[in-house]
Structure 1
Amino acid sequence: MSAGPAGEPRETSGATTALLLAHVRHQGGDGAVEAVLRHAGVPHSAAELSEPSRWTSYDTRIRLFTAATEVLGEPRTMFRVGREALGNGLHPALVLLVRTMGSPRQVYRQLPRAVAKFSTTSTMRVLAASGTSATLSYTLHEGYRHSRLDCEYAQGLIGMVPTIFGLPPADLEHPECESDGHPACVYRLSWQRRGWQRGARRRPAADPELVALRQQLGALQSAAADLVASEDADSVLQRIVERAAAAVLAPGYLLAVADPAGGPPRVHAAGVPEDQRAGLAATLLAGGDPGPHVVAVDVTSARRHHGRLAVVYRPGGGELGHEQPMLAAYAGYAAAALDLVLALDSSREEADRAGALLGLAHELSGATEAAAVSAVVAEALPRVVGCHSAAVLLWDPASGCLRASAAAGHTGEAAALLHATPLHAEDVPELVGMLADRAPRFLRPQSSSPVLRDLLLGMAVGDVVAVPVLAGRTFLGVVTAGWPAGRARGLVGDTLARLRGVGDQAATALQRARLLETVRHQATHDVLTGLPNRVLFLDTLAGALAGAGAGQHVGVLFCDLDRFKAVNDSLGHAAGDELLRQVAARLRAAVRPGDTVGRLSGDEFAVVLPALARPGDAGRVVDRVTGCFTEPFRLEGTRVDVGVSVGVAVHGGPGGDPGALLRTADAEMYRHKKRTPVPPQAVRSPRDPDRGGGS
């Protein structure tokens, strides 16, 4: 809604400034209007000041009155503005209202309430009223300085009331004025009886009532076109308030519309204090009585009830009885426009979701790792499902728990909490149920098991739909869609179907990613032991050499098993394979956490030792490696003694050739083997006769 500069009080209706500028334009053209604005020094354009919905301050009003009087050079300018208001565009609703009152006397009796439609800085009282006369008082509120120009405008305006009924203007006496030190301005008015004019009276060429009806019809038609042309709900709501302000003059307006998404109501207001808006909106939407100074109508179409529209007056003034029908007419157009916009929004939303699904399929086709698949799905879910947050949790069958893989729409703290909270089946009955029936779960903190309740509360999630990600009957994980408390809608039907569809796409992509991961692993790892093969080992060694800092060393251990052939020959190749697996396990346990053990071929193993402070540090690792072979191995109940020959090569500083370093270690291993005779016996008889002999 139009408004003046920040902080300017809403004290003067735009209907008043519009009448002033219309008179100036009629007398001196657009140039005179521009001169008035310059002389007044107001921060508004002529178009803004001609909007009935724009309220300005009392100071702006007086400056405009003063400037108009000076520019036109006519001391009685403001009296003429008031007296000629009917011809210069007096608000049509007021013209119709005056005519429906039936007589000047009835108008003057209601005039104090009408003043509140134009100004919030003064009070008018009826001191006496008869069929042909009335005495009124007009008092400026404390804190404002009285202006004689404002008084002259009021005289002209109230004196023209009889003209709406085809009578001459009222005769007016002004015996007391605030500018002369009196406590109030007093106006005594007298007019002719309508009966004296009946028969001889001629209707004016342009009947004010007919003109006003035409203006209101045009305004309604314009409002309909304007509202239907709006492209989104917020624009419609804004224009509803603007149009209401143009239809019914009042200091304040408020529109409260229920959010179709289930969230807080949308409230658009002008002239209503900020601290009163929420309470008034709640009262209106609940169907309550907002009080005698508020006129409210329903914004309802044949399809749905959207909310309520209200005009707000100061207590004790403003409402004259015509507001509700006019507001209801605007509210009907507004409801139809909201229906149309919501339908368009729904169509756009569906189109966006279809595009999001296509985009999801495209992005998933390029995701080759489970983490990347999870991230793509989590980011797409809010767009596809319409939720506020989403997550993907993957099932770890080894530990029997769900672990968060990706999340979207959460704060950093909420996402961190989710990733730090594994959901073990034994602690989460909802997970046990999902594993059993493979069905979705609808979760809320107040009805969840303790672990889930604490997690949902910590993440500030009020409603969650969790759908299993399945490959056939294989449980791969869960996708979730979440809403803050009280914001969930449509947790069944289309929303659940879309969520399941995303889960199916995620399942396919996760299967493909795991297959690719298996293929990559097989290409770079030894099938028998699971250790890095020669290719991956050399890559790891190259990375360690490139990342070595100044003063750091990188070592390589080349390990060859002693008496391995004797094991194969005496116990068979299956026993030999088992021996290699046990050797791999012992080597991994013997080296440091950052070291890498690889199987190069046959019975040859190697170890990368990154970030050695001194070359001699490699010797301590060698001692642990050779020490892990002191205990015999158990193969099919048979004790087997196997030794190891180790060669060491160390490179200092960054850079270095990984192949050359490995060959140096290999050569050192052979020199060590030649220096150390290997006993021929590898297989012993079992110490425990019950275990049987070897093959």
Structure 2
Amino acid sequence: MSAAGPADGPVPPVEARETSGATTGLVLAFVRQHAGDDAAEEVLRRAGVPFTADELSRPSTWTSYDTRIRLFTAATEVLGDPGVMFRIGAESLRTGMNPSVVVLVRAMGSPRQVFARLPRAVANFTTTSTMEVVRSDATSATLRYRLHEGYAHSRLDCDYARGLISMVPTIFGLAPAAVVHEECESSGGEACVYHLTWERRGRWPRRRRGADAADPELVALRQQVRSLQSAATDLVEGGDLETVLRRIVERAAAAVLAPAYLLAVSSPRGGAPLVHSSGLAPAEVPPLVARLLAGADLGPGAVTVDVASARRTHGRLAALHRPGDGGLGDERAMLAAYAGHAAAALDLVLALEDSRLEARRAGALLELAHGLAQAGEAPEVCAVVAGALPGIVGCGSSGVLLWDPAGGVLRAESCAGLSPEQEEVLRSAALRAGDVPEVFGILTDREPRVIGATGASAPMRDLLAAMHLTDVVAVPLLAGTTFLGVVTASWADGEVSQALDADVLARLRGVGDQASTALQKARLLETVRHQATHDALTGLPNRVLFRDRLAAALAAVAPTGSVGVLFCDLDRFKAVNDTLGHAAGDELLRQVSARLRAAVRPGDTVGRLSGDEFAVLLPRLAAPADADAVVRRVAAAFTEPFRLDGVPAAVGTSTGVAVHTGPGGDAERLLQEADAAMYRHKHRDRPAAPAPRSAD
């Protein structure tokens, strides 16, 4: 991941990286000191730059050459001083030059040494110009400064450069250098040529200068300490890890000026390193990261340090220069000091991240417990468990697969964190113990399985590939010795994987134990509900459930649709009980229920209301007469004798039909009508009762 924008707020527009924020920051600081904040805002308005004053004051913000010249022009106009750019450069030591630059310059010992190294360091401030030393001695030097082709030279840029090089001796307590500038690109010269002279020693002994606080090196050192302290505070205030890493890169520019920076730290939860960069093209980052973490040489222009605290080494940080360019001195020490503060900030942020993570896990566990307490059915239990697993375990996706002992297969009941395409693949998979060694193994030893894409069996490897997953941990769900299924935590390629982490496995086991208990409870409740609503002998819906389904069908029927009820009573059932016994009678009822279910249409409901009374619900009739076809099929189901203990038994049925058209029917009334129709059918062949005689 690469970041080059500010720590907060919108990312500024992308511009050519041609001018360091060290330059634009000096301009705005000078304007503020001499004319106030309003004047600085006016400079920005006139220049029309797409940056805030805060952004332009950061060394990590690089802008184009055109933006630099527009700022120079606006500052000259706002301050009303044609020579102000020379003053900005000449007074930069006082107005806000980067303290690390001052310390590095002072460590070089003399102006001559500084001017000798200055051409290599120019790229830290601008990438559009080249400087070379024509000659130099103890008190003089000639420098040649040339703008690259394709850029229009500005005298303001030349004035600023003259001011900067004139102040170099002041860092050593000397008077500013005298600069003679007779050849300028603005006047048609091939380059700007500067002839500098300075004194060997200061005009006044050090003891007469007032106090040590006036010494540029001491001032710079104090500023640097304050900068490091504020950097540590700023980093910690970033809050989340990504923001802190981005700020580390941004603030590195305050320690070492360079065109580009690269930070790579290890992920706190494993996986690929976390990478932030500034000033690098996306294609440049991956190979540089690999070399940086391997400790390989990144080139003569690179300054690399470890980001390490007393507790741990987080990674590495690099300030990168172009080939042939470099810094002014021992910039490694500067960057290492900053990296130490960055490491301490990372220690704190990671501790806070761990604390937040544990808090989130605790919250997820509470939600899991609450959800399982409310879940009444197995699908609900599985959905709650799958939804909670990513927050508890830290996986990218999760699932609950239930075991079908009759088919010897595992099937997905619920999942979370998967795309619709991945979920479709998982739900359509039937993991048979005979085909998938991992399923057979977990079924045999009841132990968790850590499955990687490279070491998995062929069927499992194909499934993982189809779902774009690389690691899966599966934990069995057990009710005593009964195998109920598995819970799974899974990771895709590029996700942080802790598949082998013992703590992750322990948390997954804990969730599995809760899931097993909840599934047992759900299955017990399901059994109780089934017993309360189904006939124990035949397994058919009893009167209560049949009536509920009838009421629901009546409420849902279309205005022109019909709902029918068939009421069936067995003929000669008492004779079977009396001659063959009650066991044969029970077997007869079971066979009757099977024949009735085979005779009705899909979607119809067969129920046993009591004794030898059965009913059939016909919820979708296009017309009342359509019930007659079902009546004929029911009657045909009794044409063949039943076999009871090898003895054929001819048993018939009397059937009554009642049909209601349109919504709003009464379930109990319709049942009574069907019952009355059945009674009439049963007694259709009996002679009518004689009429009572009238009294004489």
TM-score by length of 1: 0.93
Contact 2:114 2:328 in 1 (8 A): no
- 1:389 deviates by 0.8
| Counterpart residue identity of residue 443, structure 2 | L
**Structure-2 residue corresponding to 1:619:** 628
Aligned: 1:594 with 2:603 = yes
Contact 2:108 2:329 in 1 (8 A): no
Q: 1:614 to 1:45 in 2, by over 3 A?
A: closer
- 1:520 deviates by 0.8
Equivalent-residue separation in structure 2 for 1:261 and 1:27 (angstroms): 51
**Structure-1 residue corresponding to 2:359:** 351
**Structure-2 residue corresponding to 1:686:** none
Greater mean deviation of Cα atoms: 286-295 or 472-481: 286-295
Equivalent-residue separation in structure 2 for 1:444 and 1:21 (angstroms): 57
Greater mean deviation of Cα atoms: 628-637 or 486-495: 486-495
Equivalent-residue separation in structure 1 for 2:273 and 2:586 (angstroms): 71
Equivalent-residue separation in structure 1 for 2:33 and 2:508 (angstroms): 66
Q: Secondary structure at the match of 2:536?
A: coil
Equivalent-residue separation in structure 1 for 2:38 and 2:591 (angstroms): 101
Select which of 19, 37, 62 maps to 1:12: 19
- 1:31 deviates by 4.3
| Counterpart residue identity of residue 90, structure 1 | M
- 1:514 deviates by 0.8
Aligned: 1:217 with 2:264 = no
Q: 1:23 to 1:665 in 2, by over 3 A?
A: closer
- 1:564 deviates by 0.3
- 1:505 deviates by 0.6
Aligned: 1:362 with 2:385 = no
Percent of aligned pairs with the same amino acid: 67
Q: Deviations over 1:8-32 (max 9, x none)?
A: 2222222222222333333334444
- 1:328 deviates by 0.6
Aligned: 1:568 with 2:556 = no
**Structure-2 residue corresponding to 1:641:** 650
Equivalent-residue separation in structure 1 for 2:366 and 2:686 (angstroms): 68
Q: Deviations over 1:467-498 (max 9, x none)?
A: 11111111111111111136321534211111
Q: Which consecutive residues of structure 1, in runs of 5 or more, have no partner in the other structure?
A: 679-695
Select which of 327, 340, 344 maps to 1:319: 327
| Counterpart residue identity of residue 571, structure 1 | L
- 1:198 deviates by 9.4
**Structure-2 residue corresponding to 1:689:** none
- 1:156 deviates by 1.5
Aligned: 1:120 with 2:127 = yes
Equivalent-residue separation in structure 1 for 2:5 and 2:503 (angstroms): 40
Q: 1:391 to 1:324 in 2, by over 3 A?
A: same
| Counterpart residue identity of residue 563, structure 2 | V
**Structure-1 residue corresponding to 2:379:** 371
Equivalent-residue separation in structure 2 for 1:262 and 1:100 (angstroms): 42
Equivalent-residue separation in structure 1 for 2:562 and 2:153 (angstroms): 92
Aligned: 1:409 with 2:417 = yes
Greater mean deviation of Cα atoms: 157-166 or 371-380: 157-166
Aligned: 1:458 with 2:466 = yes
Equivalent-residue separation in structure 2 for 1:396 and 1:38 (angstroms): 73
Contact 1:272 1:312 in 2 (8 A): no
- 1:516 deviates by 0.8
- 1:214 deviates by 1.1
Q: Secondary structure at the match of 1:387?
A: coil
Q: Secondary structure at the match of 1:655?
A: coil
Aligned: 1:519 with 2:556 = no
1:483-502 aligned within 5 A = 483-485=491-493, 487-489=496-498, 491-502=500-511
Greater mean deviation of Cα atoms: 581-590 or 52-61: 52-61
Q: Deviations over 1:175-198 (max 9, x none)?
A: 21111112211112222334x969
| Counterpart residue identity of residue 398, structure 2 | A
Q: 1:677 to 1:400 in 2, by over 3 A?
A: farther
Q: 1:628 to 1:481 in 2, by over 3 A?
A: same
Aligned: 1:544 with 2:550 = no
Equivalent-residue separation in structure 1 for 2:195 and 2:175 (angstroms): 16
Aligned: 1:272 with 2:270 = no
- 1:462 deviates by 0.9
Q: Which consecutive residues of structure 2, in runs of 5 or more, have no partner in the other structure?
A: 688-696
Q: 1:104 to 1:498 in 2, by over 3 A?
A: same
Q: 1:199 to 1:222 in 2, by over 3 A?
A: closer
**Structure-2 residue corresponding to 1:291:** 299
Aligned: 1:103 with 2:110 = yes
- 1:446 deviates by 2.8
Q: Deviations over 1:430-484 (max 9, x none)?
A: 2222222111111123322333222221111111111111111111111111111
**Structure-2 residue corresponding to 1:176:** 183
Q: Secondary structure at the match of 2:221?
A: helix
| Counterpart residue identity of residue 13, structure 1 | S
Greater mean deviation of Cα atoms: 643-652 or 145-154: 643-652
Q: Secondary structure at the match of 2:348?
A: helix
**Structure-2 residue corresponding to 1:445:** 453
Select which of 312, 317, 328 maps to 1:309: 317
Q: Secondary structure at the match of 1:126?
A: strand
**Structure-1 residue corresponding to 2:155:** 148
Select which of 59, 62, 65 maps to 2:66: 59
Greater mean deviation of Cα atoms: 153-162 or 380-389: 153-162
**Structure-2 residue corresponding to 1:336:** 344
Q: 1:449 to 1:51 in 2, by over 3 A?
A: closer
Equivalent-residue separation in structure 1 for 2:38 and 2:584 (angstroms): 108
Equivalent-residue separation in structure 1 for 2:259 and 2:356 (angstroms): 37
Aligned: 1:22 with 2:4 = no
Q: Deviations over 1:150-176 (max 9, x none)?
A: 101111111222222233222222221
**Structure-1 residue corresponding to 2:690:** none
Equivalent-residue separation in structure 2 for 1:165 and 1:21 (angstroms): 25
Q: Deviations over 1:246-280 (max 9, x none)?
A: 11112222211121222332222222223322332
Contact 2:118 2:328 in 1 (8 A): no
Contact 1:559 1:644 in 2 (8 A): yes
- 1:654 deviates by 2.6
- 1:202 deviates by 5.6
Q: 1:100 to 1:200 in 2, by over 3 A?
A: closer
Greater mean deviation of Cα atoms: 563-572 or 77-86: 77-86
- 1:120 deviates by 1.4
| Counterpart residue identity of residue 19, structure 1 | L
Equivalent-residue separation in structure 1 for 2:312 and 2:86 (angstroms): 49
Greater mean deviation of Cα atoms: 445-454 or 176-185: 445-454
- 1:566 deviates by 0.3
Aligned: 1:556 with 2:565 = yes
| Counterpart residue identity of residue 132, structure 2 | R
- 1:200 deviates by 9.2
**Structure-2 residue corresponding to 1:398:** 406
Greater mean deviation of Cα atoms: 200-209 or 86-95: 200-209
- 1:55 deviates by 2.2
Select which of 94, 101, 104 maps to 1:94: 101
Select which of 122, 142, 146 maps to 1:139: 146
Equivalent-residue separation in structure 2 for 1:202 and 1:114 (angstroms): 34
Equivalent-residue separation in structure 2 for 1:39 and 1:398 (angstroms): 81
- 1:406 deviates by 0.5
Equivalent-residue separation in structure 2 for 1:204 and 1:654 (angstroms): 104
- 1:409 deviates by 0.6
Greater mean deviation of Cα atoms: 102-111 or 232-241: 232-241
Q: Deviations over 1:101-139 (max 9, x none)?
A: 122211111111221111111111112222332221111
Q: Secondary structure at the match of 2:95?
A: coil
- 1:292 deviates by 2.1
Q: 1:200 to 1:48 in 2, by over 3 A?
A: closer
Aligned: 1:535 with 2:544 = yes
- 1:48 deviates by 3.3
**Structure-1 residue corresponding to 2:692:** none
Equivalent-residue separation in structure 1 for 2:311 and 2:269 (angstroms): 16
**Structure-1 residue corresponding to 2:263:** 255
- 1:34 deviates by 3.7
Equivalent-residue separation in structure 1 for 2:36 and 2:640 (angstroms): 111
Greater mean deviation of Cα atoms: 434-443 or 265-274: 265-274
**Structure-2 residue corresponding to 1:50:** 57
Greater mean deviation of Cα atoms: 271-280 or 104-113: 271-280
Q: 1:199 to 1:478 in 2, by over 3 A?
A: closer
**Structure-2 residue corresponding to 1:684:** none
- 1:144 deviates by 1.4
Equivalent-residue separation in structure 1 for 2:40 and 2:350 (angstroms): 42
Equivalent-residue separation in structure 2 for 1:535 and 1:198 (angstroms): 110
Q: Deviations over 1:273-325 (max 9, x none)?
A: 23322332232122222222222111122332211111122322132332211
